[in-house]
Structures are given as C-alpha cells and as structure tokens.
Amino acid sequence: MNIIVFAENQDGVFKKSSFEAVSYASQIAAQHGSQVTAVSIGNVAAEKLADLGTYGADVVLQYNSDIFSQFTGEAYSKALAHASKHKGADLIIISNTYSGKMIAPRVAAKLNAGMVSGVISMPDTSNGFKVKRSVFSGKSFADVSINTSVKVISITPNSFSIVENQKAASVETMDAGLTTTDINTQTVEVARATGKIPLTEAELVVSGGRGMKGPENWHLIETLADTLGAATACSKPVSDIHWRPHSEHVGQTGITIKPNLYIAIGISGAIQHLAGVSSSKVIVAINKDPEAPFFKAADYGIVGDAFEVLPKIIEAAKALKSA
Ligand SMILES: Cc1cc2nc3c(=O)[nH]c(=O)nc-3n(C[C@H](O)[C@H](O)[C@H](O)COP(=O)(O)OP(=O)(O)OC[C@H]3O[C@@H](n4cnc5c(N)ncnc54)[C@H](O)[C@@H]3O)c2cc1C
C-alpha cells in the first residue's frame, strides 16, 4: 500500500494535526510493510521538513513556489494530486482541518478516488478497506467501506495520538507545473484569530455561554484559561451577539474540538453545542440549573452560580500552579 499524507503548515510551522496524520499513516504503513510519503506545500525550512521523519515519514515531497504562498483549495489539491500520481499512491490521508476539508474532496475527484471524511478509526483492511466516522453530529457512528483502488480519507483532528517512529526522511523538491492561469480563486485577505492558543490545537479549553451574562464578565473565563494555559471558546449565541469573536464559536455550526479538558460555564448543553465538544476527553460543566442538559454529557458537574464558583476555581488553580 502506497501512502501519501498531507502535512499542513501555518507560516512554515507544521500543525499538530499534521504530526497526528503522519503518525496515523506510519502505523498503517507498519501493518502493510509500506512507505509513507509526506507532502508539504508552501515555504517550510529544510530542517522542519526532515522533522516529519520523527513521526514515520520515509520521504517528504516539498512543493514550494509563489503559487502556494497563500492557501487555495485549488492549488493545494492540484499539488497533492500531482504527488499522489507521482508516487502511485493507493491511500491519501489528510487531516480534516478547515484546509483539509477544502482539499480532500478535490483530490478525490482528481484521482477518481472514493473518499470518507471525519474518520475516527484506523482502517480495517481484513476484508477490503473499512473506516469508522462519526455521523449525526457525533450521535452515531458509521462504518464505511471504500471500494475504489485509490482511497482518500480525512481524519478528525485530536482523534489520534502523535507517535514517534524515527525515520531518516529524505526530502525531494517537486514542481506541480502550476501557473496563475491554473488557479481561478485568490485569497485576498487573511484575518487571523488572535487567541494565544489556537482553539483547534488546544489541549485545555475554557468555554462560556449566555449564563456569563455579558462580555464584561469574560475576564473570569480569560483568567481561568490563562491560569490553566487553556484556549477560550464560547457557545453560538455568545458569538452571534458579539460578546466573543466567531472564531471561538464551537458546535455543529462552529468549530469541532476534542481537547483533553473542556470546561463549560453557563452553557446549557444543547445538542448543537455538544456536537462540537462531546468528544472531549474530560468535560466539566458549571451551571446553576441542576437540570441543565450539559450535566448528562459531563464527567464532572458543579451546580452553582458561575460568579461564585469561578473565583474559587481560579484561586484554587493559581494556588495549585504556584505550589
Ligand atoms: C441549526 C442550529 C445550529 C446551532 N449550532 C450551534 C453551535 O454550533 N454551537 C452552539 O453553542 N449552539 C448552536 N445552536 C444553538 C443551540 O441550540 C443553543 O441555543 C445554544 O447552544 C445555547 O447557548 P447557551 O447555552 O450559551 O445559552 P442558553 O441556552 O441561554 O443557556 C445558558 C445557560 O446558562 C445557565 N446559567 C445562567 N446563569 C448562570 C449563572 N449565573 N451561573 C451558571 N450558569 C448559569 C443557564 O442555566 C443555562 O443552562 C444551534 C442551533 C441551531 C438551530
């Protein structure tokens, strides 16, 4: 089995989800005695490219030209399809990030490949090729078989561990032969979320809902997040009424996250919210209503007024940290 994995970077630094994807690919390769080729697109320093060998990449193909300086689904998917054809890949693995969501279906179409998105299991290859994905906003699972000879899967970020499997990855410079006439769209402006820790990469997340009453109270969420080294998130209504930026909105229509710890404060726990956070490893809900639905999804619950509970938790977290 010839495996290609897309290693996404931001400003020349590989994302955590890229190391997860390379580790995932490396484990499949180990089962099948095959090689992993990682594909890097855009400007990444040579030593960083070689870092992909730490997680099991045997070869790194680098596409770096002006056309890749800004992300476009068109250019990146063309490069990835080029790499896949170059290597005669049977399996293309992409992380299901925002960029991955734009690339994966395009690559599948270019390669006439069957595709499954949001994969949360290693493939079962005992009889064909079957993977598990979550469906109905995380309420259920579907086992999906891909029957085409070339297969594309996008794996859910934070679903697989980063595993070291040191290889001396060789780096090859590639040229997909793309010019500006091949690309119909252009990124005009990039507005970056300014949070200290990117939500999608965060291991710990402190999140607030309408129960926080107003943006003037968010210093409590931010102080707890700062103390714990966590990212901040919020429910949809909170971003809709501009208490917080949309980049913090988690849920069915927002970002899906899977941190080790999700602390939900003054959030009811509507199904649409849970769709984006229910895969968190540990969930703590703080709500003054003992009947709040979040308590059914939470591992730990505190029934109480956020404005009384939060200062105590912050104090305890600070004391723990200084000890
Ligand atoms: C198609 C669709 C998509 C949606 N997508 C999303 C989505 O992606 N993400 C999302 O979040 N929502 C989404 N929603 C909205 C969702 O249904 C809920 O309306 C929303 O999640 C509720 O937000 P909330 O819990 O912050 O507010 P509320 O429902 O108003 O709940 C506030 C909670 O705070 C508690 N509370 C109040 N005061 C305090 C206090 N002092 N201390 C402690 N607790 C307190 C209350 O008991 C209550 O449980 C979607 C809805 C639809 C229809």
Matching fold, domains 3-182 and 199-322: yes
Percent of the chain with pLDDT over 90: 84
The confidence score (pLDDT) of residue 191 equals 78
Q: Which helix (H) or strand (E) holds 103?
A: helix 98-110
State the Cα–Cα distance between residues 159 and 53, nearest whole angstrom: 21
Model confidence at 118, pLDDT cuts 50, 70, 90, reads very high
- Ligand 1 atom with the shortest distance to the CA of 307: 41
Cα-to-centroid distance, 244 and ligand 1 (Å): 14
- What confidence category does residue 229 fall into, taking pLDDT thresholds of 50, 70 and 90? very high
Q: What is the residue extent of each domain of the chain?
A: 3-182, 199-322
Placement of tokens 């229509």 in the chain: 253
- From the list 129, 133, 95, the residue with the least C-alpha distance to 114 is 129
**237 pLDDT more than 90:** yes
**Closest Cα to atom 30 of ligand 1:** 210
Strands annotated E in the chain: 3-7, 9-10, 13-14, 36-41, 59-63, 91-95, 114-119, 130-135, 140-145, 151-155, 170-174, 204-208, 231-234, 261-265, 282-287, 300-303
pLDDT averaged over the chain?
94
Ligand 1 centroid–CA 192 distance in Å is: 26
**Alpha-carbon gap, residue 68 to 235, rounded angstroms:** 34
pLDDT band at 153 (very low <50, low <70, confident <90, very high): very high
Q: Find all residues with CB under 8 Å of 33, minimum gap 6, and list them.
A: none
Q: Using a 6 Å cutoff on CB, does residue 210 contact ligand 1? A: yes
Q: Which CATH number fits domain 199-322: 3.40.50.720, 3.40.50.1220, 3.10.28.10, 3.50.50.60?
A: 3.40.50.1220
* Mutation probe of ligand 1 site: the residue of 241, 256, 288, 309 with most atoms within 8 A of C-beta: 288
Q: 27 — phi, psi (to 5°)?
A: -70, -35
| Atom 14 in ligand 1: residue holding the nearest Cα | 272
Percent of the chain at pLDDT above 70?
Answer: 99
Ligand 1 atom closest to 269 (CA): 25
Strands 130-135 and 140-145: antiparallel
Closest residue to atom 29 of ligand 1, CA basis = 268
Kindly state if the Cβ of 270 falls inside 6 Å of ligand 1: yes
Please say if the pLDDT value at position 194 is more than 80.
no
Minimal-distance CA residue to ligand 1 atom 7: 251
Q: How far is CA 158 from CA 50, 139, 171, 273, 301, in A?
A: 23, 18, 27, 18, 24
For residue 65, give every residue at least 6 positions away whose Cβ sits within 8 Å of its Cβ, in sequence order, or none: 175, 178
Top mutation candidate among 287, 295, 308, 312 for ligand 1, by most atoms within 8 Å of CB? 287
- 2 Cα: distance to centroid of ligand 1 (angstroms): 46
CA-wise closest residue to 100 among 15, 191, 192, 178: 15
**Sign, CA torsion 300/304/305/311:** negative
Distance 269 CA to ligand 1 centre (A): 6
- Rounded to the nearest whole angstrom, what is the distance from the C-alpha of residue 250 to the centroid of ligand 1? 11
> Is the CB–ligand 1 distance for residue 309 below 6 Å?
no
Ligand 1 in reach of 305 Cβ (< 6 A): yes
Mean pLDDT, to the nearest integer, of 143-154? 98
Ligand 1 atom closest to the CA of 208, numbered from 1: 26
CA distances from 125 to 145, 146, 157, 180 (A): 10, 10, 22, 40
At the topology level of CATH, where does 3-182 sit?
A: Rossmann fold (3.40.50)
